[in-house]
Structure 1
């Protein structure tokens, strides 16, 4: 399942290959890139909340979220390239990805009702929950979707440009995230159909 902008990930990874080689040569730690991604997400949230001029906020938020996505792409790739991939590192990677997105969305508390922002945070996490649940059941990790991580970042850039429409834009993010979670769930059902002997606990 590679619907949406996630289909561009291989192309994007190629564009970052030089940066990845430079980081590997300098001994950069993959976890440091994960932390940097969280930091960039948090700074994007701060910009959303505190920069009132859309002409300034929009390129600033776009640049910070682009750096957040680059860090999310580089940390796992760097770990694989340098032989430092670990199962716990994968956990840190996932937690960092969620924290970066929630930190960026937190900036919307200054622009929209709190209940709507909280609902957006919940909905934005749902596609990843579905993908991780599927992986725990033995299915390949499902990414992408109509409103995946990259599309949600793009919506936040639009929100920075049009803060007066923060409510409707967050509603679009919520609806799109739920639709993405359902699409992934459907794909997982097809993938796991016929599988037997899979059990789990909560």
Structure 2
């Protein structure tokens, strides 16, 4: 039997002029925690955390939810994240949790997503939606790792803490989704100021630095 995917009702794919100043934009910086890294296999979402950045300043608008993964959390993940079965037992399942996150994004009129190793977090959301035969359009997304690679072509793959320290960003609770989102937001703001020093101040400049050709959106 073939299932037709249902589109979630959120309008996240805003068309934004590439000459829009970064200082005039609102971004959602987010992170996920999972039961492991094999999200294309059996690993599942267990937490989403996010914060809004507006005018290159971190706002008080944050989001956090645990997610019931319908499976046990491995001991090593509990040790890493501090998330226990008791945290997720009565938490929403993934479709409801992702819906709540998208509602947060839409309510705050976010114009783009930011993440550290963003491709992983997007894959997590994509796979959870696929499990429920749902889909949603993806807004403009930028990975802080790509901006770091532009600013420092000799960079090598390091963790979030390393780059936060290197660029003078604040470090919040690590390996919690909200804590990592806050750290990533602080890092993103510092990176934007480094871009500004190079006269890179617009959305188009940001996408160029991140190795993206345009602000076109995709569906997943």
TM-score (norm 1): 0.30
Higher strand fraction (1 or 2): 2
TM-score (norm 2): 0.29
Higher helix fraction (1 or 2): 1
